[in-house]
Structures are given as structure tokens and as C-alpha cells.
């Protein structure tokens, strides 16, 4: 049996990304910040997919996290990034627990469509709420970090480092979760739910816990994107946003919880360059790249790691 090197690899990635942040140009650092933040949402989705919960409504928690940070900053004067992240995680966990008690009773397309409907309900509420800026949304002030102002390039660097820490930390949590008895049972539920019940495990409880993990990851991602862009609007909860997370989760593969982080960074980078150099056909280029991955790597980009191990003669 091969030794699990995920946690040491994540620790090495944490150090490497922070060091790179000190030398990278600001535009590339911003791109990595957005990619890692949005990758958190896709990562939560992958954890859910491993248990058979394919959600087309992760925009619900993505938007919820962003608006929680925006409301706390604009209406209550809370601008500390750490407090905003903790608050968004708490709100996402509470809402996820309440909603998960209902939606996890459904499976397959019924679960997917119900999660999508809930996301669109939030979108409708945000669009019709003039207090929240309606379709235009509203801006956020620059976050602070334990009292240090977050203005300028130094503030963007601190936000980047915070995003790296949260993304890698959540990846470690998700990895430990999927390797825990609850996570292993979640994969068993995907194969045969009835046999899991015969073993004496509660399928409902396992799926609820898995759903809450996905909700927290989605809320954290939305908060970090809001802090990076300093603007939020209802599009965060729109169905196309949720669909983007599903695409990235599928393209990255569900073989490892950290795969969506890398997949989302690559996706954001490819989309940015395609838009810059082919503004009239960038959608076609992105769609072509997605089609190529689906055709030649049906198990996702992470399957390349298995191919490398086989090429090197490893099991």
C-alpha cells in the first residue's frame, strides 16, 4: 500500500504558493487568488459528488458567502478579513444544515434540480432587493487584517496569502473527511445505498454532513472572491455560475479533493488569455478545451497523475 503524501504535498504547496506570491506580478497574483477562491467551491462540490450528490446550485452558497461578507462590512462595519471569513463559514454551515435536512432526501436529477431551484430563489430575492443593490449589487470596502489596512499592493498580497491558507487548509480538511469513516461510507452510498443501511450506518446523517462540508467550502469561496473583487452582485447565485463549478469539478476529476483547485486555476487562466487574445471567439476556445478534456481524459485532469505512476512502473 502506497503511503498517503497528500498532507505533506499540501504543506509544500502552501509554502510554494506564498513564496511565489512575493515575486509574481500583481495581475497573476490576482488571477491565482480568484482561481483558488472559486476552486474552493468546486472542491466542496467534488466532496459531495463522491457521495453521489451532484449539485447544480452551489451558487447558493457562493453568493451567500459573498453577501454575508458584504452585509457585515457595509451595514455593521466589520472589515476584518478573518472575521468575515469566520462569519461566512458559520452562516453557510447553519443554512447548509437546514437545507441539507431537506434536499438530501432526494437523489440524482431530483437533488440536482432542487439545489438549482434553491440557488435561483436566492438570485430572485437579490435581484428584487433594492436595499442590496438589485441587479447592480454593491461594493465592499478594502478588508483589514488584524487591524492592518488592506489598501494597495500590500493589502492584495495579504489577501492572496490568506486565500492560499484557506484554500490549502480546506483541502486538508476535505481530504481528512473523505478518508474518515463518514467519507468512506459516502463513497459506499454511491455504490449501494441499501447495503450501507444494512451495515447499520445512517445514510441520511452521512449525506447531511457531506452537504454541510460542501456548503462551507462554497461560502468560503464566495467570501474570498468578494474580498478580492470588492464587488458583489446577484450573478454570483445565477445558474450559469453554478454550472461553471460543475464543469470544473468534472474536468478536474473527483479522484482527489485538491484537483478542483488546480483545475479552476487552469480554467481561469485559460479563459483570461482566451478573452484577451480572441475576444470575439473566446467562448469557442474554452468550449473546445473542455470538449478535448472530456474526450481524451474522461476521468478528468487528475487522471494524468495515475498515468504518470503507471508510466513510472508504480502501482
Q: From CA 23, how far away is CA 156, in angstroms rounded?
A: 13
What pLDDT, on the 0 to 100 scale, is given for residue 175? Answer: 94
Of 62-76, 119-133, 232-246, 297-311, the range with the lowest mean pLDDT is 297-311
**C-beta separation of 82 from 146 below 8 A:** yes
Q: Which three cell numbers stand for residue 84?
A: 468575515
What pLDDT, on the 0 to 100 scale, is given for residue 274? Answer: 82
Summarised one tens digit per residue, pLDDT across range 22-64 is 999 999 999 999 999 999 999 999 999 999 899 999 999 999 9
Residue 310 has pLDDT above 50, yes or no: no
Cα-only R_g, the chain: 19
Of 108-122, 193-207, 219-233, 289-303, the range with the lowest mean pLDDT is 289-303
Neighbours of 48 (CB within 10 A): 28
Confidence of residue 314 (pLDDT cuts 50, 70, 90): very low
Of 118-122, 185-189, 304-308, the range with the lowest mean pLDDT is 304-308
CA angle 122, 128, 133 (to 5 degrees): 95
Summarised one tens digit per residue, pLDDT across range 196-246 is 888 888 899 999 999 999 999 999 999 999 999 999 999 999 999 999 999
* Report for 58-67, 149-158, 246-255, 278-287: range of highest mean pLDDT: 58-67
- Average of per-residue pLDDT values in the chain: 88
Give one DSSP letter per residue of 236-260, joined into a string.
Answer: GGSHHHHHHHHHHHHHH-SS-TTHH
**C-beta separation of 109 from 56 below 8 A:** no
What pLDDT, on the 0 to 100 scale, is given for residue 3? Answer: 76
Q: From CA 244, how far away is CA 162, in angstroms rounded?
A: 24
Pairing of strands 231-232, 138-139: antiparallel
Q: From CA 119, how far away is CA 67, in angstroms rounded?
A: 13
What pLDDT, on the 0 to 100 scale, is given for residue 154? Answer: 85
Alpha helix segments (H runs only) across the chain: 6-23, 26-49, 59-75, 81-103, 108-128, 152-179, 181-191, 193-198, 203-229, 239-252, 259-277, 282-296, 303-311
Q: Looking at the DSSP assignment, which residues form a beta bridge with residue 148?
A: 145
What pLDDT, on the 0 to 100 scale, is given for residue 2? Answer: 64
Q: Looking at the DSSP assignment, which residues form a beta bridge with residue 232?
A: 138
Instruction: Give the residue, 314 or 163, on which the prediction is more confident.
Output: 163
The size of the chain, in residues, is 315
Confidence of residue 305 (pLDDT cuts 50, 70, 90): low
**pTM higher than the cut 0.85:** yes
Confidence of residue 65 (pLDDT cuts 50, 70, 90): very high
Q: From CA 139, how far away is CA 314, in angstroms rounded?
A: 51
Percentage, residues of the chain above pLDDT 70: 96
Residue 253 has pLDDT above 70, yes or no: yes
Amino acid at each position: 500500500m502506497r503511503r498517503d503524501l497528500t498532507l505533506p504535498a499540501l504543506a509544500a504547496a502552501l509554502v510554494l504558493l506564498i513564496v511565489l506570491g512575493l515575486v509574481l506580478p500583481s495581475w497573476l497574483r490576482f488571477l491565482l487568488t480568484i482561481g483558488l477562491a472559486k476552486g474552493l467551491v468546486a472542491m466542496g462540490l467534488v466532496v459531495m459528488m463522491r457521495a453521489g450528490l451532484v449539485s447544480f446550485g452551489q451558487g447558493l452558497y457562493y453568493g451567500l458567502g459573498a453577501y454575508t461578507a458584504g452585509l457585515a462590512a457595509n451595514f455593521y462595519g466589520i472589515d476584518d478579513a478573518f472575521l468575515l471569513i469566520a462569519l461566512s463559514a458559520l452562516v453557510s454551515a447553519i443554512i447548509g444544515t437546514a437545507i441539507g435536512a431537506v434536499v438530501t432526501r432526494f437523489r440524482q436529477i431530483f437533488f440536482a434540480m432542487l439545489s438549482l431551484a434553491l440557488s435561483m430563489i436566492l438570485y430572485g430575492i437579490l435581484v428584487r432587493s433594492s436595499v442590496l443593490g438589485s441587479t447592480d449589487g454593491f461594493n465592499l470596502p478594502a478588508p483589514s487584517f488584524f487591524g492592518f489596512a488592506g489598501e494597495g499592493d500590500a493589502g492584495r498580497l495579504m489577501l492572496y496569502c490568506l486565500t492560499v491558507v484557506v484554500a490549502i487548509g480546506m483541502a486538508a480538511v476535505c481530504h481528512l473527511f473523505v478518508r474518515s469513516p463518514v467519507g468512506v461510507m459516502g463513497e459506499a452510498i454511491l455504490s449501494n445505498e441499501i447495503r450501507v443501511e444494512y451495515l447499520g450506518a445512517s445514510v441520511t446523517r452521512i449525506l447531511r454532513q457531506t452537504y454541510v462540508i460542501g456548503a462551507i467550502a462554497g461560502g468560503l469561496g464566495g467570501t474570498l472572491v468578494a474580498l478580492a473583487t470588492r464587488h458583489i452582485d446577484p450573478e454570483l447565485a445565477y445558474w450559469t455560475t453554478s454550472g461553471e463549478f460543475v464543469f470544473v469539478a468534472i474536468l478536474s476529476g473527483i479522484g482527489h479533493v485538491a484537483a478542483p483547485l488546480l483545475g479552476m486555476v487552469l480554467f481561469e487562466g485559460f479563459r483570461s488569455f482566451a478573452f484577451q487574445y480572441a475576444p470575439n471567439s473566446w467562448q469557442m476556445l474554452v468550449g473546445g478545451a473542455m470538449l478535448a478534456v472530456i474526450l481524451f481524459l474522461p476521468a478528468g485532469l487528475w487522471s494524468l497523475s495515475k498515468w504518470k505512476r503507471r508510466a513510472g512502473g508504480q502501482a
